[in-house]
Structures are given as structure tokens and as C-alpha cells.
Amino acid sequence: MGVYLIDQPRCGNAGRSLVEATLKPTPDEQLWFNQFRIGLWPKYFNVVQVARDPGTREQFFRAMTPNTGPFDMNVISDGVSAIFDKIGPGILFTHSQAGGPGWLTVIKNEKVKAVVAFEPGSSFVFPEGEVPAPIPSAFDTVQGVGVPMARFTALTRVPILILYGDNIPDQPIDLPAQDSWRARHAMTRSWRDTVNRHGGRRHAGSPS
């Protein structure tokens, strides 16, 4: 079975964009350390299994490549859908920001036979009229996206597994990078219940 590693348009190895963007040098290493829940800078959480030497930490920061154009779910999902047209039926794995485009890819292409989403953090798709209230956090506000029911039902026809890691708070806190995941996890549970209520096979797992 073939395995294909995808960089979404305007990011990573797919960074050549037809839309202009300005990249600014930003010293934000502490943000990414906290955002990926490695710890609270500069201290590591006790349970993390990442190596703690300076070299590993430097390579982690170097992997935080900037977007080279605006984040556009339709552009990304069109690109991923085109890949499935080329390779045929398969299972789509997504991570974090790619969660939202992943749901749209399922809607656009029947060749997506299942989804495994690691910590989706953007744009959960709900039927129009069933979009839940936005969930504010100390980082931002998480909002669902409404689509016609005829499109939404595509998400009920494939098995979907969503996995979150640990160190996600249950109650609001004043640490933006941590509270961000509380809001996203809460929206995930609402989305799970909505998909399953309409006949889906969707499971969300978390060790916390």
C-alpha cells in the first residue's frame, strides 16, 4: 500500500504561492513550545517523550516554517482531492490546522474512505442550522462552519477517528496556548455528537 506525505498549498514543500504574502521575522519560539504542549517554556511536562537536548529543541523550532500565503480551505481541499483522483481510494490522515480542509476533502471526493485526524484545530463542518455557538479561549475563538445537509452527510458515510494528546485543560485558563486546545477539544466533542446523530461513525479519543 502506498503512503503519500502531503504539504498543504502555501506551506512547507508546497510553499510556492500565486498569492502574495509578507513574511515577518518573529521571535516566537516560546509560543510553539507551548502550543505543541511540550511544556510551559522553558520547562517540559513530565510525561512528554521528546528528547530534551538542545539539538533536538533547535530542530523542532526549525520545523516551524511559515505559511507563504493565506490559509484557504478550498485551495487546500481542492489540492488534496486532486491527489485522491490520481492515486485512487485511500485513508486521509490530517494534523492540526489541516483538520478543516480534511473534512472538505471528504465532502468533495468519494475516494476518501476513512479519516484519521490528529488534534484537528480548525473549521469543523456542521449542517447549516446546527452550527454550535463559538467557543472563546485565551488564544482565539473557535467557530464551526455551516454547509448544506446534502454535503454534510458525506462525513457520515466514512469512519472517522480523531485523536488528541494529553495536557489539555478541562477548564478555562489564562495560558493562551493551553486554553486554545481546551476550546478545540470542546468543539470536537460537539462535532462528534452531531456527525453520529446523523448516522456517522466517528470516535474521538484522548488520554486526558
pLDDT digits 0-9 by tens, 5-48: 999 999 989 999 999 899 888 899 999 999 999 999 999 999 89
Which domain does 34 fall in, by range? 24-62
Q: Could you tell me if 58 and 118 lie in one domain?
A: no
Q: Could you tell me if 124 and 51 lie in one domain?
A: no
Q: Could you tell me if 40 and 128 lie in one domain?
A: no
Residue 1 per-residue DSSP state: -
Of 33, 62, 91, which one is at a domain's C-terminal end?
62
How large is the average pLDDT for residues 136-156?
96
Q: Could you tell me if 91 and 194 lie in one domain?
A: yes
Of 32, 62, 92, which one is at a domain's C-terminal end?
62
CA–CA gap between residue 134 and residue 149 (Å, rounded): 20
Number of domains in the chain: 2
14 occurs within a structural domain? no
Considering only residues 87 and 66, tell me which one the structure prediction assigns the higher pLDDT: 87
Beta strands in the chain (DSSP E): 39-40, 43-44, 90-95, 112-118, 125-127, 135-136, 141-142, 145-147, 159-163, 201-205
DSSP 161-173: EEE--S---SS--
